[in-house]
Amino acid sequence: MAAEFKEISPNASAGAKLGNWLENRFPTLFEAYRFHMSEYYAPKNFNVWYIFGSLSLLVLVIQIVTGIFLVMHYKPDAALAFGSVEYIMRDVPWGWLIRYMHSTGASAFFIVVYLHMFRGLMYGSYRKPRELVWLFGCMIFLALMAEAFMGYLLPWGQMSYWGAQVIVNLFSAIPFIGPDLALLIRGDYVVGDATLNRFFSFHVIAVPLVLLGLVVAHLLALHDVGSNNPDGIEIKGPDAPKDEKGHPLDGIPFHPYYTVHDIFGVSVFLMVFSAVIVFAPEMGGYFLEYNNFIPADPFQTPPHIAPVWYFTPFYSMLRAVTTEMVYVLIACVVGAAGFAVLKGKMSSLFKAVMVAGAAVLVALLLAIDAKFWGVVAMGGGVVILFFLPWLDNSPVKSIRYRPTWHKYLYAVFVVNFLVLSYLGTLPPSVIGGRISQIGTLFYFGFFLLMPWWSRLGTPKPVPSRVVFHPH
């Protein structure tokens, strides 16, 4: 049965008549607007940490739009790629601005995404019922890393070429399938024209489509279960207070309240973003390495090869895993298995399974080269985030109501992550290697021991209603 058209007064304004005409012919759009904006009730105690989701969406749009203009002049050819980038920078009107917006946008994307993920970590936004929202977010993070890595090769500068050479060769460390997998990724026996064309296709078409699909899924899943808040209190649950229309008393419509909130955040972000583009687009070699302004030369290796700053925490984990580190990991596995068997309340059969599993893991650690375990550590640093909803056993969601020492632990985690990021930009050294090993153990210990330490301490009383203090 066809839907009935909504009538409007003949004395209505031209804008109202146009809106009524569109709504009668495209009601799904207006329903989506009401569901996701004007009638989507969000907690009334959002703070500044909640602007980074909208900023991530803004930077994604910037990257897509600037990427479209760059593709108009870029040549995905090993003999022409570097020259086409120089042509964009020097001869295309405003080409330098578009290129710097894209390169700075890549770093800005990771900055806002890291802050967005840390906000989720602080306030327990990955906890029930938002597990799927978190999983989609982690998938977005993985897709973003793939997109950035493939785009990093395209300028065909020295660091692009050799960085891709090093990272792709890491896949050859995987037992049995490694060499064939590395060959498949490169498309040739060395990083060359075939690699450039593959990475260009994935960077421009395949990964952005996946990224857009995941972003839509992330937002739909979020709006189905509702947003979390700094208090970690559910405002839309069956026991939450509601008005006579069924709207949560602790919520406010997303539009216009949080659209204005986000517009303010966008304005501040764009001012900082513009200043970086105009005054420091290379950011001292962190956003754009100086070696990348030199054409790729397969016969001239740069003195120090390191990925861009947003990959360096995981690159530090890769370099931290040496043969000595493997022995430390073996000691940790044996110690953890022994502690579980002696102190754990479990059946004899389960204890035997744990001992057997630990023995198999120790055998694998000894049998396989440390380089492979470094690759595992690098990938595991990202993959472990997927399991966060099931690792956290704290009785409360938000860090506001957890024991005070939890806040210090989270602060140490952040400092550790920043130290690993910095060490990943430096050449290998004995002291830096030791610090990286300690930092890697702390990073994984933070998550793997979370089921234990998150239960420790007495949480503060959680209020039954959202606590909101207007500015």
CA atoms within 13 Å, Cβ hemisphere of 108:
30
| Res. 170: pLDDT tops 60 | yes
Q: pLDDT for 36-45, tens place per residue?
A: 777 888 899 8
pLDDT attached to residue 345: 66
Q: pLDDT for 222-275, tens place per residue?
A: 988 989 999 988 888 777 788 777 788 888 888 888 899 999 999 999 999 999
Conformational region of residue 462, where left means phi above 0, alpha means psi within -120 to 50, and beta covers everything else: beta
Tell me the residue type at 110. Answer: F
In this structure, what is the dihedral angle of CA atoms 327, 333, 334, 336, given to the nearest 10 degrees? Answer: 140
Distance of CA 447 to the CA centre of its chain: 17
Q: pLDDT for 179-223, tens place per residue?
A: 999 999 999 888 999 999 999 999 999 999 999 999 999 999 998
**Tokens standing for 451?**
């089921």
Helices (H), 128-206: 131-153, 158-170, 178-186, 193-201
Binding residue per annotation — 255?
no
pLDDT attached to residue 2: 52
Query: For a pLDDT cut of 70, what percent of the chain falls above it?
Result: 97
pLDDT band at 471; cut points 50, 70, 90: very low
Contact 62, 266 (CB under 8 A): no
In sequence order, the β-bridge partners of residue 43 are 251
Cα distances from 413 to residues 62, 191, 193, 308, 443, in angstroms, run 31, 36, 41, 21, 7
Binding residue per annotation — 304?
no
pLDDT attached to residue 362: 81
**Common-topology check for domains 34-293 and 309-453:** yes
**Tokens standing for 215?**
């972003």
pLDDT higher at 463 or 84: 84
Q: Can you tell me the distance from the alpha carbon of 389 to that of 229, in angstroms, rounded to the nearest whole number?
A: 16
pLDDT higher at 458 or 356: 458
pLDDT attached to residue 469: 59
pLDDT attached to residue 33: 77
| 16-20, 62-66, 129-133: least confident range | 16-20
Q: Can you tell me the distance from the alpha carbon of 299 to that of 162, in angstroms, rounded to the nearest whole number?
A: 10
Phi, psi of 456, rounded to the nearest 5 degrees? -75, 150
Q: Closest by alpha carbon to 32, among 252, 235, 215, 219?
A: 219
Q: Can you tell me the distance from the alpha carbon of 23 to that of 6, in angstroms, rounded to the nearest whole number?
A: 8
Q: Is 248 helix (H, G, I), strand (E, B) or coil?
A: strand
Binding residue per annotation — 102?
yes
pLDDT band at 468; cut points 50, 70, 90: low
pLDDT attached to residue 281: 94
pLDDT higher at 369 or 85: 85
| 98-112, 135-149, 151-165, 238-252: least confident range | 238-252
CA atoms within 13 Å, Cβ hemisphere of 438:
11
Contact 223, 135 (CB under 8 A): no
Q: Can you tell me the distance from the alpha carbon of 2 to that of 249, in angstroms, rounded to the nearest whole number?
A: 36
Contact 165, 191 (CB under 8 A): yes
User: What mean pLDDT do residues 284-309 have?
Assistant: 89
**Tokens standing for 249?**
């008393």
Binding residue per annotation — 261?
no
| Res. 95: pLDDT tops 70 | yes
pLDDT attached to residue 1: 43
Phi, psi of 25, rounded to the nearest 5 degrees? -105, -15
pLDDT higher at 70 or 178: 70
User: What mean pLDDT do residues 67-84 have?
Assistant: 95
Fold of 34-293: Cytochrome Bc1 Complex; Chain C (1.20.810)
Q: pLDDT for 393-448, tens place per residue?
A: 999 999 999 999 999 999 999 999 999 999 999 998 999 999 999 999 999 999 99
| Res. 57: pLDDT tops 90 | yes
All structural domains of the chain with their residue ranges: 34-293, 309-453
Instruction: Supply the mean pLDDT for the chain.
Output: 90
Binding residue per annotation — 223?
yes
- The DSSP secondary-structure symbol of 295 reads B
Q: Can you tell me the distance from the alpha carbon of 272 to that of 82, in angstroms, rounded to the nearest whole number?
A: 29
Query: How many Å is the Cα radius of gyration of the chain?
Result: 26
pLDDT attached to residue 409: 96
Q: Closest by alpha carbon to 365, among 175, 91, 180, 220?
A: 175
- What architecture is domain 309-453? Up-down Bundle (1.20)
Q: pLDDT for 350-388, tens place per residue?
A: 778 778 888 887 887 777 888 888 888 999 999 999 999
Whats the size of the chain, residue-wise? 471
